[in-house]
A and B are shown apart, each in its own frame.
Chain A
């Protein structure tokens, strides 16, 4: 497949990295300085403006199959897609926008873009999903929400601390697919012992997974949420939480914006103040809420306020990072979950570019492992085969199967049938092998 990526920022680079092995990738970028970063990849980089027909033709837009516009400017992305579509009507276009209003317009059938993804909305949804599972570090839904994948840290002194997997007796419907210990990925057997600090990746029915996670953390569900930063992510997040019947706090430093937010959020208490003011946080008892989400536009401010609140006794702090590479550092110093909107949007876009069989993807531990959702095609290497037959390579494990809307927890004697959706955990270097299994 021939792919044109417009914009080589964090998002564009991540996409190019994910795609260049299987596809011919052309990147259009205005800024010469970004070139060097892309030199290590086997791709073609063209200096030019993605919204100009000249540059697009130079990138052979007429021969391309897919165009991904992911610059930082929404309007450039939309114009680039519209222009390309005129030059090549058979082109599939994917646009990244930040303003959710464009997404709404697109959903109503305007703008003439094939796929539109909104980073702020995806981020807000991602945080909301993580909030509903407070003990989890990472949560993702598969098969339209019927299958859940979580990554949870075993807490010291919890029921499952120092217990073998067999003794932990995961509820039926929950599959422990891997343990990540000190950055090492372990595909566990029954004798492996869970120790505090381990990250456990479980896949299965949402209720069973949630139940198992609770035992691992001895956590009761959280009640109160405070959001610091009323930008687009903060606003969308508050909206989603309101729709779930919650009444979050939303702290915003700008008065005009506070008013704007308060007029649109009925059940949210909007506070107009600086989210790093300790006295204010104490006075409003933000230090005693269960979860604080720091999503201002400034990374440093997010980190400062998150660390302050963590010290003051907040159970979990979420933090927005702008540079995906900073996530790890944030988590090292005490932030529970660092969220990078750019990483999320890159993941989302990559999902659309996968071969037809692979639908949803989650990336774990800085891309060292992935969870894939495979639709088993007719006459592939997988169909009508026993799972116990060493079908999948080592380093992978089938977490759950969805057949006719029923979730099946796979055993060795189970057979994969065409039309099944298999949720597979795979280490990064095995992803190719797994995807190849879908071919006849």
Chain B
């Protein structure tokens, strides 16, 4: 028999089938909610049964003695996210949302983007909205990380899978075994969610709103069951959201170490310092440029919007689409940063920016001293040259993808006669690729992406997917060398 590819597709599919079988459990919370709120339970029960059947059958059909290698790792991660988003779309489809819109909403959820095509959020069944919030929470820390934490068959080869999925250049291990690290991260994630839920509840939010917002805040997702997002709540709750967005944008490994008592890590982590510095400067700039009269409001809205853009959460404490073009340009710029590596945020990540800037300064210095050997440091750590190359490559690739995405979105809008300004067009590309969510104009924080043509939506689904997995696992599948020997 002649083999057409060296990639072991069968064991990859086998693993994905196992993940889908386990995914059936995630329909339980909205199913319970549907009983509680006396809403239709079919949108969750049918997908649940489907997931179990397809998972089991898929696992049987793809049983193979072959093992997963580096190549298959990319395939597993990329395909897993596509198929999970497909299963996530089922409840929307059974609630009469059309196919592409449902897939868009599901992908936006799992990738913690927070872009929505639902125009009438207030009209939607509560159980469906809970599912929408829940998908973001699952995607925030990562489906693969979750799979590594609970699936025994991934306890050995999970590291590569996790590296392909996790945000940032590399995964710091807390323990000798990767599944222990994955479990710790998820435990911390659950803990943070519970704490935020409790604080919301204490501040007088309803159970449903507290849960819904806690799920999407720590995931830096940005879906809100409220049509007006966080604008619907008072200043105290907005401040809590600000704090938790900052926490969710922090490296979870760092968070874990600090929580377990090693506070000095906070002073050592350079990326964290740059992250806080960026937040401070960006928030201050916006605050000073805001026209409002109330200082408290300007400060709150300034920092809220700065942080929601940097971390790619996508909440809004006010309709920033009404702001001046200067402020919008600032917000657009902030979309590219993302939080720290190892957080739940999207985009390029602070650490990559810091290193790229240091790289540029080194080039300037090398122009004067051609023979100089100058390492690039992050704190006291020297960054290896090949890692640096990867980071610069990623950054260039990110901006290239962003540029092509913007052009295609604007072109598509022109084709169907959609009125889309340049700033709006590129903001949509940046917001989907960076998993931010709301952009400007028709895709603004209080509006929806529904108006875009189907072709644009498909492109945005691709951007969200590729952006969440940080491009390489997706783009490597498109290279000829991946499939050939």
Please list the residues of chain A having a beta carbon within 8 angstroms of any beta carbon in chain B: 255, 258-259, 261-263, 266, 269-273, 280, 283-284
Add 13 more A-B contacts to A258-B373, A273-B371 (CB < 8 A): A255-B373, A261-B373, A262-B375, A263-B375, A269-B369, A269-B372, A269-B374, A270-B372, A271-B369, A272-B372, A272-B373, A283-B370, A284-B371
CB distance from A227 to the nearest CB of B (A): 14
Q: Chain A residues with Cβ under 8 A from B374's Cβ?
A: 262, 269-270
Q: Are A272 and B375 in contact (CB under 8 A)?
A: no
Residue of B nearest to A269 (CB): B372
Question: Which chain B residues numbered 341 to 371 have a C-beta less than 8 Å away from chain A?
Answer: 369-371
Q: Chain B residues with Cβ under 8 A from A272's Cβ?
A: 371-373
Q: Are A259 and B375 in contact (CB under 8 A)?
A: yes
Q: Are A266 and B371 in contact (CB under 8 A)?
A: no
6 residue pairs A–B, Cβ–Cβ below 8 Å: A261-B373, A262-B373, A262-B374, A269-B374, A271-B369, A284-B371
CB distance from B363 to the nearest CB of A (A): 15
Q: Chain A residues with Cβ under 8 A from B382's Cβ?
A: 263
Binary per-residue interface labels of chain B (365-407) against chain A in the complex, 1 for a CB within 8 Å, 0 otherwise: 0000111111101000010000000000000000000000000
Q: Are A270 and B373 in contact (CB under 8 A)?
A: yes
Cα–Cα distance between A272 and B375 once the two chains are bound (Å): 13
Q: Are A266 and B377 in contact (CB under 8 A)?
A: yes
Q: Are B373 and A284 in contact (CB under 8 A)?
A: no
Cα–Cα distance between A262 and B371 once the two chains are bound (Å): 12
Residue of A nearest to B368 (CB): A284
Q: Is the interface of B mostly helix, strand, loop or mixed?
A: loop
CB distance from A338 to the nearest CB of B (A): 27
Q: Chain A residues with Cβ under 8 A from B372's Cβ?
A: 269-272
Cα–Cα distance between A271 and B372 once the two chains are bound (Å): 4
Question: Which chain B residues numbered 195 to 213 have a C-beta less than 8 Å away from chain A?
Answer: none
Q: Chain B residues with Cβ under 8 A from A283's Cβ?
A: 370
Please list the residues of chain B having a beta carbon within 8 angstroms of any beta carbon in chain A: 369-375, 377, 382
CB distance from B383 to the nearest CB of A (A): 10
Cα–Cα distance between A258 and B373 once the two chains are bound (Å): 7
A-B CB proximity, top 6 nearest: A258-B373, A263-B382, A262-B373, A273-B371, A271-B371, A270-B373
CB distance from B385 to the nearest CB of A (A): 9
Residue of A nearest to B370 (CB): A283
Q: Are A259 and B371 in contact (CB under 8 A)?
A: no
Q: Are A280 and B371 in contact (CB under 8 A)?
A: yes
Cα–Cα distance between A259 and B386 once the two chains are bound (Å): 14
Q: Chain A residues with Cβ under 8 A from B375's Cβ?
A: 259, 262-263
Q: Chain A residues with Cβ under 8 A from B369's Cβ?
A: 269, 271, 284
Q: Are A271 and B377 in contact (CB under 8 A)?
A: no
Q: Chain B residues with Cβ under 8 A from A271's Cβ?
A: 369, 371-373
Q: Chain B residues with Cβ under 8 A from A273's Cβ?
A: 371
Residue of B nearest to A266 (CB): B377
Residue of B nearest to A255 (CB): B373
Cα–Cα distance between A190 and B370 once the two chains are bound (Å): 56
CB distance from A239 to the nearest CB of B (A): 15
CB distance from A373 to the nearest CB of B (A): 40
Cα–Cα distance between A283 and B372 once the two chains are bound (Å): 12
Q: Chain B residues with Cβ under 8 A from A255's Cβ?
A: 373
CB distance from B436 to the nearest CB of A (A): 37
Q: Chain B residues with Cβ under 8 A from A259's Cβ?
A: 373, 375
Cα–Cα distance between A272 and B371 once the two chains are bound (Å): 5
Cα–Cα distance between A261 and B374 once the two chains are bound (Å): 10
CB distance from B370 to the nearest CB of A (A): 8
Q: Chain A residues with Cβ under 8 A from B371's Cβ?
A: 271-273, 280, 284
Q: Max chain A CB contacts within 10 Å: which of B369, B372, B373, B377?
A: B373
CB distance from B67 to the nearest CB of A (A): 36
Residue of B nearest to A258 (CB): B373
Cα–Cα distance between A270 and B372 once the two chains are bound (Å): 6
Q: Chain B residues with Cβ under 8 A from A261's Cβ?
A: 373
Q: Chain B residues with Cβ under 8 A from A269's Cβ?
A: 369, 372, 374
Cα–Cα distance between A263 and B376 once the two chains are bound (Å): 8
Cα–Cα distance between A370 and B114 once the two chains are bound (Å): 81
Cα–Cα distance between A270 and B374 once the two chains are bound (Å): 7
Residue of B nearest to A230 (CB): B373
CB distance from A122 to the nearest CB of B (A): 27
Q: Chain A residues with Cβ under 8 A from B370's Cβ?
A: 283
Cα–Cα distance between A272 and B373 once the two chains are bound (Å): 6
Q: Chain B residues with Cβ under 8 A from A284's Cβ?
A: 369, 371
Cα–Cα distance between A266 and B374 once the two chains are bound (Å): 9
Residue of B nearest to A271 (CB): B371
Residue of B nearest to A265 (CB): B375
Q: Chain B residues with Cβ under 8 A from A263's Cβ?
A: 375, 382
Residue of A nearest to B377 (CB): A266
Cα–Cα distance between A263 and B371 once the two chains are bound (Å): 15
Cα–Cα distance between A375 and B382 once the two chains are bound (Å): 49
CB distance from A437 to the nearest CB of B (A): 53
Q: Chain A residues with Cβ under 8 A from B377's Cβ?
A: 266
Cα–Cα distance between A259 and B383 once the two chains are bound (Å): 12
Q: Chain B residues with Cβ under 8 A from A258's Cβ?
A: 373
CB distance from B202 to the nearest CB of A (A): 48
CB distance from A97 to the nearest CB of B (A): 27
Residue of B nearest to A252 (CB): B373
Cα–Cα distance between A258 and B374 once the two chains are bound (Å): 9
CB distance from A247 to the nearest CB of B (A): 12
Cα–Cα distance between A263 and B370 once the two chains are bound (Å): 18
Q: Chain B residues with Cβ under 8 A from A266's Cβ?
A: 377
Cα–Cα distance between A164 and B374 once the two chains are bound (Å): 52
Q: Chain A residues with Cβ under 8 A from B373's Cβ?
A: 255, 258-259, 261-262, 270-272
CB distance from A231 to the nearest CB of B (A): 16
CB distance from A256 to the nearest CB of B (A): 10
Cα–Cα distance between A273 and B373 once the two chains are bound (Å): 10
Cα–Cα distance between A259 and B370 once the two chains are bound (Å): 14
Residue of B nearest to A262 (CB): B373
CB distance from B119 to the nearest CB of A (A): 56
Cα–Cα distance between A308 and B377 once the two chains are bound (Å): 35
Q: Max chain A CB contacts within 10 Å: which of B371, B372, B377, B382?
A: B371
Residue of B nearest to A259 (CB): B373
Residue of A nearest to B385 (CB): A259
CB distance from A235 to the nearest CB of B (A): 13
CB distance from B144 to the nearest CB of A (A): 33
Cα–Cα distance between A259 and B372 once the two chains are bound (Å): 10
CB distance from B362 to the nearest CB of A (A): 11
CB distance from A265 to the nearest CB of B (A): 10
CB distance from A183 to the nearest CB of B (A): 42
Cα–Cα distance between A255 and B374 once the two chains are bound (Å): 12
CB distance from A249 to the nearest CB of B (A): 9
Residue of B nearest to A264 (CB): B382
